[in-house]
């Protein structure tokens, strides 16, 4: 529902601009993939694999699977040059097949990602950032009261969320500069761990690694959960396709950024796990609150502070990039009428989707204020692989329905079929191995989007006068206008 647009300079146009080069695209993927997990708790893969040797194999194979999935997404990103990743693919592949059901997958994806999963992830990651930043300060000030510590953590998290939202609302160039800096520092933090491990190996500390495959579990359930844990740690390889409209030369830079970044993450993850195992036994890794911190205390001595600082930098950059990506999903969903129209508007000077950015900041704020949301993320994670699998179906459909469309980049057909099978497997494993009512809650919330879609999108039962006022008000507050072509 359109309202009277803000005046803009027709010579310049208003819309998202291509500000992300190859280096920035690589950093975006690194930022989303490398969160706190590899520093804090890489133990689940070790727990279920049962041995150091099998654990390393799991991390390598998970990296290869992630690379194949990312390459399939690269084809989709070059064929459908629109931001939003899975959302855009669902719209273009399923949309034309049926008037009602065709657009439903895209709506459900935006419904879940915009309102629950991504802002909740941002909230959890920002809270992790706050813990690693504020804990040393509270220790220095001798603050022992858990309740006071919790208040400090939440306060710091809210300040960090405000900074992240400000950066993403202000300028894509500012985002690029900040993310590039944080990306470099988080890789350096990983390299500090790896170099520490190399030093331990050089002085003959190989006792734990010498056990090799001793104790490996080949039980189907354990193997499945080991790979599930590993692949969850690699999640984020599709990040670059959420911002396709802002990538310079996307037909080349999307595949290149994936081919460079995913192997880098794989190498970092594998060698960091080997480094941990040079000084920590399997029980020690399992019981450590933060594996990298424990490793740093034993190996780095007075420089151990580098690890919690690295975790803080890593989590801040990760939250910044996740919010950056989901605001673009919010932006394209607004264009199609799946979200408020104002979310598709762009600040007439800053050229950022500022209404969508602030909206995402507010939802993440509510999650932080509400309390413990980690469990929600854990039980909703299987839905992400469900959407990955659906994206592979989109690729197969587009191969059939649009065989003559220009494809600057194309993967062998076996790759999307393989990733589809992996996605089906990983979507079913959590429910079959640990049938918890929370999975039912996640499915219920997904299904709850269907009547919303039917009434508000399909039948267009919307209070037009109220919606027009909301759109106009957001235009005035955010100085935003509908995207225009120069």
Reported pTM: 0.88
pLDDT(315) > 80: yes
Q: What is the pLDDT of residue 45?
A: 84
Q: Are 253 and 23 in contact (CB under 8 A)?
A: no
Alpha carbon 232 to its chain's center: 10
Q: Are 190 and 272 in contact (CB under 8 A)?
A: yes
Q: What is the pLDDT of residue 385?
A: 87
The CA–CA distances, whole Å, from 422 to 215, 400, 417 equal: 26, 22, 9
More confident call, 438 vs 250? 250
Average predicted confidence (pLDDT) for the chain: 86
Q: What is the pLDDT of residue 481?
A: 85
Q: What is the pLDDT of residue 372?
A: 63
Euclidean distance between CA atoms 19 and 246, whole angstroms: 6
Q: What is the pLDDT of residue 159?
A: 95
pLDDT tens, 243-287? 888 888 888 899 999 999 999 999 999 999 999 999 988 888 888
Q: What is the pLDDT of residue 85?
A: 87
SS3 415: helix
* pLDDT (mean) for 79-91: 90
More confident call, 421 vs 46? 421
Q: Write the CB contacts of 59 (distance below 8 Å, at least 6 apart in sequence).
A: 45, 230, 266, 269, 270, 273
Q: What is the pLDDT of residue 220?
A: 79
Q: What is the pLDDT of residue 13?
A: 59
Confidence of residue 106 (pLDDT cuts 50, 70, 90): very high
State the angle between helix axes of 172-202 and 22-33 in degrees (0 to 180), rounded to the nearest 10.
60
More confident call, 15 vs 317? 317
pLDDT(418) > 50: yes
Confidence of residue 379 (pLDDT cuts 50, 70, 90): low
> Quick one: what percent of the chain has pLDDT higher than 90?
38
> Quick one: what percent of the chain has pLDDT higher than 70?
93
Q: What is the pLDDT of residue 364?
A: 94
Q: What is the pLDDT of residue 14?
A: 65
Euclidean distance between CA atoms 132 and 62, whole angstroms: 28
Q: What is the pLDDT of residue 485?
A: 45
More confident call, 423 vs 467? 423
pLDDT(289) > 80: no
Two tokens, residue 341: 């129209």
Two tokens, residue 42: 């890489």
pLDDT tens, 9-36? 434 556 777 888 899 899 889 988 888 7
Confidence of residue 375 (pLDDT cuts 50, 70, 90): low
């Amino acid at each position: 529902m359109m309202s009277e647009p803000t005046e803009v300079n027709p010579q310049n146009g208003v819309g998202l601009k291509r500000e992300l080069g190859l280096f920035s695209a690589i950093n975006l993927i690194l930022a989303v993939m490398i969160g706190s997990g590899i520093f804090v708790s890489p133990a689940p893969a070790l727990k279920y694999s049962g041995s150091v040797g099998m654990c390393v194999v799991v991390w390598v194979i998970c990296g290869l699977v992630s690379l194949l999935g990312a390459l399939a997404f690269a084809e989709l990103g070059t064929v459908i040059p629109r931001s939003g990743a899975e959302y855009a693919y669902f719209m273009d592949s399923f949309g034309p097949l049926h008037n009602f059901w065709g657009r439903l997958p895209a709506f459900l994806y935006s419904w879940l990602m915009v309102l629950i999963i991504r802002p909740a992830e941002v909230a959890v990651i920002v809270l992790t950032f706050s813990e690693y930043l504020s804990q040393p300060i509270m220790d220095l000030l001798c603050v022992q009261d858990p309740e006071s510590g919790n208040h400090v953590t939440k306060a710091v998290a809210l300040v960090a969320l405000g900074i992240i939202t400000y950066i993403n609302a202000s300028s894509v160039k500012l985002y690029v500069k900040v993310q590039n800096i944080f990306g470099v520092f988080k890789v350096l933090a990983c390299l500090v761990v790896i170099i520490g491990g190399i030093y331990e190996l050089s002085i003959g500390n190989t006792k734990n690694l010498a056990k090799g495959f001793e104790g490996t579990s080949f039980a189907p359930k354990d193997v499945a959960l080991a790979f599930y844990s590993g692949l969850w740690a690699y999640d984020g390889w599709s990040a670059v396709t959420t911002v396709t409209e802002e990538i310079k030369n996307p037909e080349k830079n999307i595949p290149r950024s994936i081919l460079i970044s995913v192997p880098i993450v794989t190498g970092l993850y594998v060698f960091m796990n080997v480094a941990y195992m040079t000084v920590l036994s399997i029980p020690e890794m399992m019981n450590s609150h933060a594996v990298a911190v424990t490793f740093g205390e034993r190996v780095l001595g007075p420089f151990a502070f580098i690890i919690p600082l690295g975790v803080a930098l890593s989590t801040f950059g990760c939250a910044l990039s996740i919010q950056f990506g989901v605001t673009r999903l919010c932006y394209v969903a607004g264009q199609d009428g799946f979200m408020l129209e104002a979310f598709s508007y762009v600040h007439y000077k800053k050229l950022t989707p500022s209404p969508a950015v602030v909206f995402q900041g507010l939802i993440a704020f509510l999650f932080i204020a509400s309390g413990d949301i980690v469990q929600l993320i854990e039980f909703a994670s299987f839905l992400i692989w469900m959407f990955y699998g659906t994206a592979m179906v989109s690729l197969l459909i587009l191969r059939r329905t649009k065989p003559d469309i220009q494809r600057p980049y194309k993967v062998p057909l076996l790759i999307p079929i393989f990733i589809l099978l992996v996605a089906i497997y990983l979507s079913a494993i959590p429910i079959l191995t640990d049938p918890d009512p929370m999975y039912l809650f996640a499915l219920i919330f997904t299904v709850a989007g269907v009547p919303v879609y039917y009434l508000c999108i399909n039948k267009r039962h919307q209070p037009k006068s109220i919606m027009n006022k909301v759109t106009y008000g957001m235009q005035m507050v955010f100085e935003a206008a509908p995207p225009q072509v120069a």
